[in-house]
């Protein structure tokens, strides 16, 4: 890492030296003398560069290169600006004309059949991956077990990778408490932490009882859904076979704790209201947030399931499913309680993951995206509404900015 940083600093100093040489006009006698002959010393040996040659070199190579870089940055900035305006216009259209998902997609409340009883309800698996979550394990497990759904059609799976024996006992106690109340809850553990969260989710899908489920819901350990979460989200998947994912919005319980959490709330609210809501309205791509979402099991299997090749396993799965033509629905009115990082160290780690993870994923999937047959019909142009979108024009290009540093 130190060598890498030194190389970046050397590159920055070199660019500044070239800029100084390029724009210097010789306003004084000392500057004219410096431009006449630039001398440098390397290991005691003196090497001279003729001023005429340096001028020709910068006029033929350096100046055009910097002009191209400036033009490239301006184009990217313009594309990002246009995309932002476009997304906000879509959100305004949704608000004015009340184009909520219930009007765009078919939605009917789940009802119990007189003869079949609960058989009309699909089997739902709720996964809760956790790692040494002593403070929130009772809240997360309790919230999942309180979901309003027939008990014989619901399985709660706690994926506990905890290494602290005390926390393991607390998880076992909590699971046993809800099992005694009739909840079908399973506590699964691994011998290692390979793949971290993605590895735990992938391992959890291998159990035989998972094959009985039609949909899978994922909640991180610090998320607590409302009891009616499944009643609002699952019908979108039941009545719309082309939908693979229903994503709920996050509601932050500690947003007013400090200035940093308040700023995070503002940023993430824009992400939900502008980027994800506009993407859902346009039937365009938006990424799975990693939690508070319901996946169609068939879509996950078709996309290849969970991969642990990057730190953004949620975006990885969403991109692969999206390239197959599956649609995603974002529910702005359906919220799930969560917490924001209130310490700078945790915030920095989260932002590093959210910035470098997509860059690494882009490098691994760039050829798959280019070769995909439905890329232009699904992402570059929205065939359902004939509305062009530049999401996959600007995002991969701007992602290249991070590729060299991640």
User: What's the angle, vertex CA 306, arms to CA 139 and CA 160, rounded to 5?
Assistant: 35
Count the helices and strands in the chain (H runs, E runs).
16, 12
Residue 95 Cα distances to 99, 135, 247, 250, angstroms: 7, 38, 19, 19
Q: What is the mean pLDDT of residues 195-201?
A: 92
Helix H, strand E, coil C: the string for 356-374 is HHHHHHHHHHHHHHHHCCC
Task: Tell me the torsion sign for CA atoms 271, 272, 277, 280.
Answer: positive
Largest alpha-carbon pair distance within the chain? Answer: 99
Q: What is the bridge-based pairing of β-strands 215-218 and 293-296? A: antiparallel
DSSP string, 176-240: HHHHTTT--EEEE--SS-TTHHHHHHHHHTTSGGGGG-SEEEE--TT-EE-TTHHHHHHHHHHH-
| DSSP state, residue 117 | B
| pLDDT band at 12; cut points 50, 70, 90 | low
Per mean pLDDT, which range of 58-62, 331-335, 398-402 is the poorest?
398-402
pTM of the model: 0.76
Provide the annotated active-site residues. 161, 314
Bridge partners, 243 (sequence order) = 327
Q: What is the mean pLDDT of residues 126-140?
A: 93
Is residue 42 classed as helix, strand or coil in its secondary structure? strand
| pLDDT band at 20; cut points 50, 70, 90 | low
Give me the pLDDT at residue 15, please: 55
Q: With 60 as the cut, is the pLDDT of residue 394 above it?
A: no
| DSSP state, residue 123 | P
Q: 186 is written with which tokens?
A: 């399973």
Cβ neighbours of 401 (radius 10 Å): 12
Please give the Cα distance from 122 to 213 (Å, whole number). 7
Q: With 70 as the cut, is the pLDDT of residue 371 above it?
A: yes
Bridge partners, 250 (sequence order) = 336
Please give the Cα distance from 33 to 52 (Å, whole number). 13
Q: With 60 as the cut, is the pLDDT of residue 175 above it?
A: yes
Cβ contact 265:252 at 8 Å: yes
DSSP string, 334-361: EEEEE----SHHHHHHHHHHHHHHHHHH
Q: With 90 as the cut, is the pLDDT of residue 204 above it?
A: yes
Please give the Cα distance from 142 to 140 (Å, whole number). 5
The structural domains of the chain, with segments of one domain joined by +, span 101-110+118-403
Q: With 80 as the cut, is the pLDDT of residue 35 above it?
A: no
Instruction: State the distance between the two ends of the chain, measured CA to CA, in whole angstroms.
Output: 11
Cβ neighbours of 174 (radius 10 Å): 20
Nearest 10 degrees: Cα torsion 397, 399, 403, 406: 180
Q: With 90 as the cut, is the pLDDT of residue 183 above it?
A: yes
Percentage of residues in the chain having pLDDT higher than 90:
39
The predicted-structure confidence for 243-294, as pLDDT tens digits, reads as follows: 999 999 999 998 899 989 999 999 898 888 888 888 888 777 788 999 999 9
| pLDDT band at 2; cut points 50, 70, 90 | very low
| pLDDT band at 150; cut points 50, 70, 90 | very high
Residue 225 Cα distances to 155, 184, 301, 318, angstroms: 15, 18, 25, 22
User: What's the angle, vertex CA 46, arms to CA 43 and CA 50, rounded to 5?
Assistant: 140
Cα 70 from chain centroid (whole Å) = 29
Count of alpha carbons within 13 Å of 113, Cβ hemisphere only? 8
Query: Which CATH number describes the domain made up of 101-110+118-403?
Result: 3.90.550.10
Q: What is the mean pLDDT of residues 357-369?
A: 81
Cβ contact 231:147 at 8 Å: no
The predicted-structure confidence for 59-103, as pLDDT tens digits, reads as follows: 777 888 888 888 888 888 888 788 788 888 888 888 888 888 888
Enumerate residues 6+ apart whose C-beta is below 8 A from 99: 93, 281
Per mean pLDDT, which range of 36-45, 167-176, 260-269, 322-331 is the poorest?
36-45
Cβ contact 162:171 at 8 Å: yes
Cα 208 from chain centroid (whole Å) = 29
């Amino acid at each position: 890492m130190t060598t890498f940083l030194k190389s970046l600093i050397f590159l920055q100093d070199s660019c500044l030296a070239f800029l100084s040489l390029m724009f210097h006009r010789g306003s004084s006698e000392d500057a004219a003398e410096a431009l006449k002959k630039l001398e440098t010393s390397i290991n005691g040996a003196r090497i001279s560069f003729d001023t005429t040659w340096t001028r020709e070199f910068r006029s033929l190579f350096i100046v055009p290169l910097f002009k191209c870089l400036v033009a490239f940055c301006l184009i990217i900035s313009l594309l990002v600006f246009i995309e932002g305006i476009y997304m906000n216009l879509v959100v305004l259209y949704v608000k004015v004309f009340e184009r909520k998902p219930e009007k765009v997609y078919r939605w009917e409340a789940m009802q119990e059949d007189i003869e079949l009883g609960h058989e009309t309800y699909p089997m739902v698996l709720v996964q809760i991956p956790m790692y040494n979550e002593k403070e929130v394990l009772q809240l997360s497990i309790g919230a999942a077990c309180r979901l309003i759904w027939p008990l014989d059609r619901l399985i709660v799976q706690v994926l506990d990778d905890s290494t602290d024996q005390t926390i393991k006992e607390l998880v076992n106690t909590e699971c046993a408490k809800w099992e005694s109340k009739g909840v079908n809850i399973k506590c699964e553990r691994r011998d290692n932490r390979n793949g971290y969260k993605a590895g735990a989710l992938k391992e959890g899908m291998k159990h035989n009882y998972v094959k009985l489920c039609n949909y899978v819901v994922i909640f991180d350990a610090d998320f607590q859904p409302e009891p009616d979460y499944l009643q609002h989200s699952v019908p979108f998947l039941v009545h719309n076979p082309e939908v693979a994912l229903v994503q709920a919005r996050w509601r932050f319980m500690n947003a007013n704790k400090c200035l940093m959490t308040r700023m995070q709330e503002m940023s993430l609210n824009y992400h939900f209201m502008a980027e994800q809501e506009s993407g859902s309205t346009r039937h365009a791509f938006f990424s799975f947030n990693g939690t508070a979402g319901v996946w169609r099991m068939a879509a996950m299997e078709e996309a290849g399931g969970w991969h642990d090749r990057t730190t953004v396993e949620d975006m990885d799965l969403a991109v692969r499913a999206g390239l197959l033509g599956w649609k995603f629905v974002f529910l702005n009115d359906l919220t799930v309680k969560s917490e924001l990082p209130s310490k700078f160290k945790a915030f920095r780690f989260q932002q590093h993951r959210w910035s470098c993870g997509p860059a690494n994923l882009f490098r691994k999937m760039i050829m798959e995206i280019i070769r995909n047959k439905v890329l232009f019909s699904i992402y570059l142009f929205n065939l359902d509404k004939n509305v062009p979108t530049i999401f996959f024009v600007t995002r991969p290009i701007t992602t290249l900015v991070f590729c060299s540093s991640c």
